[in-house]
Structure 1
């Protein structure tokens, strides 16, 4: 029997995060959307307080929440507040949306590992927010970089594993 779980993260523009995570071992599916904001049914044009996030469905027999976070901290800059690349604003914040106490503790543990590595010039500013409703983004934003391979992204693998 499969043990599929979901993880919710935000680290800047959702297109680049989705594109990198979709091909990771153990990842079953990815979807981009809005999470952590003030309105129901947010849209690309109106999502106050929401982060551009991704919902990751993964096979817990093949990867773990900790491994997902390890990769998360390798593909975006977790030391900038409300910014990734050219994108500015709270929509582009670095956030882990934890669903339970175990995920919260894992997030604290991985942030400690990242900070102790001294790979970044500053400390992690990634926020830890309780999971709230994930609202799928419009169809034109799903799989965007698959359909537009030369589209903008500021996400790439910067380091090897922290674990």
Structure 2
């Protein structure tokens, strides 16, 4: 007979993070031990049920974001947050590489005060690594709208696509070097 500890369901946590194009964050987090689900979507805007075309105009206020569900007993919260800051440049306002507009801003959306404090500490910790000021915002949680199916697990579905090879591959290589103990080559499907 299993003990209570053996049958205990893990307490999963979800972070809502926007770090430029959601394809990059999605590609990494699907490879992280302890991550149980990754969903690309839109949050932080004023339009109900936006689609990709509307968000790309930069007029809806939404950011491309991911909802990352993970087990903090397997992968520490700090590791998830440090990965976030590794996968994008948190010092460029409303821009990630060639992607320009508020929809590509660096933002974190805490679900409670504990997450807000974690996010503030992560920003402070990361600032020590950058000479330019970090512009990542901590914004009030807003409705999260799931992006179209083509954007879910984009990297695994289209690894030969130019954006994947030129933008995502180098970021994944950097993350693999920094976070090797946490990276696995299986893909979280959600």
TM-score relative to the length of structure 1: 0.91
Alpha-carbon separation, structure 2, partners of 1:59 and 1:133 = 23
Match of 2:63 among 33, 51, 71: 51
Larger radius of gyration: 2
Match of 1:145 among 150, 155, 175: 155
DSSP-derived class of the 1:46 partner: helix
Alpha-carbon separation, structure 2, partners of 1:74 and 1:140 = 24
Show the counterpart of 2:134: 124
Distance 1:160 1:123, change over 3 A: farther
Kept after mapping to 2: 8 A contact 1:82/1:94:
yes
Larger helix share, 1 or 2: 2
Is 1:27 equivalent to 2:39 in the alignment?
A: no
Q: What's the C-alpha RMSD, in Å, of the aligned pairs?
A: 1.5
Show the counterpart of 2:109: 97
Show the counterpart of 2:48: 40
Task: List alignment gaps of at least 5 residues for structure 1.
Answer: none
Kept after mapping to 2: 8 A contact 1:7/1:65:
no
**Across the two proteins, how many residue pairs are aligned to each other?**
159
Show the counterpart of 1:85: 97
- Cα deviation, 1:81-135, whole Å, max 9, x if unaligned, reads 000011000000000111111111111111111112xx32312110001211110
- Cα deviation, 1:7-53, whole Å, max 9, x if unaligned, reads 10000111111001111121111010000001110100113110000
Larger strand share, 1 or 2: 1
